[in-house]
Amino acid sequence: MPSLSVFGAQWGDEGKGKLIDLLAQDADYVVRYQGGANAGHTVVVGGQKYVLHLVPSGILHPAKVNVIGNGVAVDPIKLLEEIEGLRARGIVVDGKNLRLSAGAHVIFEHHRLIDQCAERWRGEGRIGTTGRGIGPCYADKAARTGLRVCDLLDPSTRRARLRAALAEKNELLLQVHKEKALDLEGQLDQYTALAERLRPLVGDTGKEVRAAYRAGKRILFEGAQGALLDIDAGTYPFVTSSNTGPDGIAAGASFPPRQLDQILGIAKAYCTRVGGGPFPTELDWEKEGTPGWHMSTVGAEKGVTTGRCGWFDAVAVRYALDIAGADGWIVTNLDVLTGFPEIRAAVRYRVAGGETRDWPAEASSVERVEPVLTSRPGWTEDITGVRRYEDLPAAARAYVEWLEMEVGTPIRMLSVGPDRSQVIARGLKPW
């Protein structure tokens, strides 16, 4: 199967980076199709930790082509910082192994400022944005007032479009947010220099990926945020500004949907949530000694972006895999649950009028559900060195098999530690 979609089946931070890095060993192309630098993939290789925000996770493998598709909101400053950081650690990054779509929209300083100011204005209605300008950039894209990478590279277009954008954005900054206006010439100087540094990476990436697929190359599409943060299918308005699952690939990578051959979701053995918004199984993850604190501490959940912790939510994961049409899923962080005398999980929601196994049709209703929890026996054995499924403790195997039965989709792989080698294959290989 030459094309594979891997996406997060919870609210983000599911461990996608590590698994995508692992699967990239057998891929030819690794394609990012949505999101911006608000995403964070952590990959541990030989004890060395790499945090990737815009660059696809395949960059740590030689001879892989990594693609930033047209659906990604690209901050040139952050992208170039990330590239230079990788180069400083001996990773080769050039126009051969990193390709940037000419059609990707560009995040400017005014996007970041407006994002941060708007969040302050919302008060208790904050949606938990990272303040990196992704939402305002996507808003300009929909309003047809944004600048793409190709516009940034063309001097006359760059000046005309940025002048028009700042005419509006400066008034917003001055009159509404009481901030200083941005200087057009200063912004042009800064972004012109950035554009020239990006130029060797830029091309028609959709055409390149479609041609690679026709040539029999293996294409891996990496989702940047969880399915429950999807702007259409997630817990709106506490979501990101793009389509995070495989439904975003056709538009965000210019890749035909009928040529997507396999879809795998990724979910933790418990649950975490990035940003604000409803989280039915959330635990107190700041009080030392509690189950939530254990998950947060042992699972290092306060790292890449943010992290709230709770018990596994079968209702949410079942929904995420269902809307994606997933062929299977991967369970991560199973090792974090070691030591719990019992492990709890939500199997249904209690709502007005009774109980349901279904995700609420109105996302706002998630704020009002009560999780119906069940308990499974825990285990105490260290499983971080286990590489064969049959070598797991009986209680760990029972928990995995219960997850599979409850969610109703086969589990293809387990992760038992942060390193790319700490995985257990279960069932058919994805490729």
Distance CA 109, CA 132 (A): 9
Beta bridge partners of 328: 264
**Residue 233 confidence (pLDDT):** 93
Catalytic site residue 53?
A: no
Tell me how far CA of residue 303 lies from CA of 44, 112, 118, in angstroms. 13, 22, 25
Max Cα separation, the chain? 66
154 is catalytic: no
H helix or E strand, kind and range, residue 278:
none
> What pLDDT shows up at residue 304?
44
* CA gap 256, 137 in Å, rounded: 25
How high is the pLDDT of residue 126?
A: 63
Q: Give CA–CA dist 368/44, Å, rounded.
A: 38
Asked if 29 and 67 touch (Cβ cutoff 8 Å), the reply is yes
DSSP assignment letter at 174:
I
Burial of 120 (0-12, 13-18, 19+ CB in 10 A): exposed
- Selecting among 13, 140, 151, 230, the annotated active-site residue is 13
pLDDT score recorded for residue 70: 98
C-alpha 315: how far from its chain's center? 20
- Going along the chain from its start, the domains and CATH numbers come out as 3-100+203-262 (3.40.440.10), 105-199 (1.10.300.10), 267-425 (3.90.170.10)
- Going residue by residue through the chain, which has 431 residues, state the pLDDT in tens, using 9 for 90 and above: 699 999 999 998 898 888 888 899 999 999 999 999 876 677 777 778 888 899 998 999 999 999 999 999 999 999 999 999 999 999 999 999 999 999 999 999 999 999 888 877 766 666 667 778 999 999 999 999 999 999 999 999 999 999 999 999 999 999 998 999 999 999 999 999 999 999 999 999 999 999 999 999 999 999 988 999 999 999 998 899 999 999 999 999 999 999 999 999 999 999 998 778 899 999 988 888 899 888 988 887 765 445 689 999 999 999 999 999 999 999 999 999 999 999 999 999 998 878 999 998 776 678 889 999 999 999 999 999 999 999 999 999 999 999 999 999 999 999 999 888 899 999 767 77
Q: From the candidates 21, 41, 61, 140, which is the catalytic residue?
A: 41
Q: Which two tokens stand for residue 219?
A: 């294409």
